[in-house]
Amino acid sequence: MPLFAALGDETRLALVLRLGSGGPRSIAQLAAESPYTRQAITKHLEVLSAAGLVRSDRRGRERIWNVEADRLAAARKYLEQVSLQWEATLGRLKQFVEE
């Protein structure tokens, strides 16, 4: 799951959060707000983009990045699925123990 791997990095998670709460921004802007180089930001954005969490639009010489809401919803659904499965298993185990 490249999605979790993408969110697993501290810097990347911060990037996504700030992009989501502050609206679309350019690489330079994001880099200015972060302790890291523009290049580092670019690399992280690429990883996030590969995970489908983020998308870029060209605007003149700028590249504007925004957040992709659907993918996060998918992650949520996935976790929900897994935890449902867990509960089913726990239920079965409990039943088994009680028999």
What residues contact residue 58 under an 8 Å CB cut-off, 6+ apart?
Answer: 64
What residues contact residue 9 under an 8 Å CB cut-off, 6+ apart?
Answer: 44, 47
68 binds DNA (CB under 7 A): no
Residue closer to DNA, measured from CB, 5 or 79 = 5
Among 4, 33, 39, 73, binds DNA (CB under 7 A): 39
Alpha helical stretches, state H, 23-55:
27-32, 38-50
Among 13, 27, 72, 74, binds DNA (CB under 7 A): 27
∠ CA 42-44-47, nearest 5°, is 115
Query: Which structure tokens are listed for 4?
Result: 């979790």
Residue closer to a copy of itself, measured from CB, 38 or 59 = 59
Contact positions toward a copy of itself, by CB under 8 A? Answer: 1-2, 4-10, 13, 16-17, 20-24, 67, 69, 72-73, 75-76, 79-80, 82-83, 85-87, 89-90, 92-93
